Structure 1
């Protein structure tokens, strides 16, 4: 007779493998499409998810490819100094948002003393950050495009830091980040009013925070990260915590609107699901960073909102899978390139968000 143990083992071996988890699916997308050495923007997203030691397809570390292949130097009087070129040979933007690459390197934990070989000679990450300070202008504190520079500098500077930019202006970084908090409060004010009034949702019309790339969540991350310093938290009082509550309220507001749009415009299903992936993934990443960097301890109700965000992300990935979106990405890269880039970048951010909440 076959023993019960052998029978159980045989049935287990014959049963189909468990389907991949949401995180596994998103990691696979990122690992498949984000490691091409010809695309530094994609590599940056691969680094964000897989870490500073991840390697590009050609075997080199992705951080080396980004700096060695795409950094340039302008030594003319009044020139730009060290800078990343605008487009790759294939016509792709190198970094669509200012300082995206520098921010990626810094947040991945690349040491400031790390030396890269470039056509301009050996360059350290410290020199790249000095070049970023040289080209920095305080107006980035109120600009939708300022998030990445603020986040990068916020991780190499400390409260009380000052520096001089290329125009000779003395920049007080505390004042810059104070203004960034004011900007966040202003941009989220309509959502804050909706939350106070108990409205189920605040319509998205590309107003306020919705006018920012990725729904302003990179800007939120930069501001919140600066508050990891006790002196900053003390100076800001409870103002950032109010903005966290507004972000938590925003989850339900946006989820309702995505569902309504999917029902009203099924012909745009893939694009709408892509936007859902962007928001839910960045939402989890933003609060995951806040917990990791600032020691945030969500209340039971706040934790329930985080769980709900994960459920919404899982449902979105399931729907994208049913639409064969990830399998069709090579075709989308040719026929609908913007949708391809959205799916790729937002898959990496969503996977990172899930990893931060393990």
Structure 2
């Protein structure tokens, strides 16, 4: 590790490092100059060992006397490197860490900044045109041809290939009207996917986190499986650990944002090919169900309704919760204008009476 004298040596260059970093300029020349100056003072490990350490001044009491409570700390063990290269590599790494640890952009005292990197667009791809065609018209315009062809083929392994071939031929020979319909739908879905990816990237990068809309939350929630998979797979590979993650809360995209709980498990148990959930049959009973109860307690109905994209009156269980949420029935409707809360109260009172009747 760097000595107190070496740390003092590095301090005067901190301002220059900050300027270069903020300007986005390269640091190669800076490091080369700094290492050169460092090695002029400490050309090798022997020079470090021979350098006399300055004694620290004793701790004093308020009266100016030497404190009897001061504790003499043991001198930390000195790392001896086997080669000059190993010593230089260690020192240069420690020097870089010294600067980066004091100048990381966006760092606040007592807080850690977490950057989530997601391969947006690699998963949950939009179906190809012929796949959209199959999804909508397979039963009416393709299935009969496939059944006829497969009835003449005994080799089950080739069924998938034959089915795909017939589907492609049917799509290629389809009417202009249907092809135009499917192509328009494909274009719409591609554009919708681009907008979702843009929103997801916008939110995860931290822009506008103070005011994330229900629709933005719905898009991020939709990406949770990919987020967890990309994170846990990377961490499992780098650490050799197994991971089990549990989370849950209001599902913004679902009507009235009901509570949903999801778990993700990565890292199989050797010789079993099982994750923790597979290895422990009671996982859902002992973890997922209690977590769901917890989520319902910390996200009461008013909170869930406030974050819902759509609200249906019939699914509201408490009239007071809807009023407290500041929302109205429908798609992202808010009680903002004068008289809207009174109108909502009148509707909810009627609904409350109906509910009591049904009970």
Give the structure with the higher percent helix. Answer: 1
Identify which of structures 1 and 2 has the higher relative contact order when contacts are C-alpha pairs closer than 8 Å and 6+ apart: 1
TM over 0.5: no
TM category, shorter: under 0.3
In our comparison, the structure showing a higher alpha carbon Rg is 2
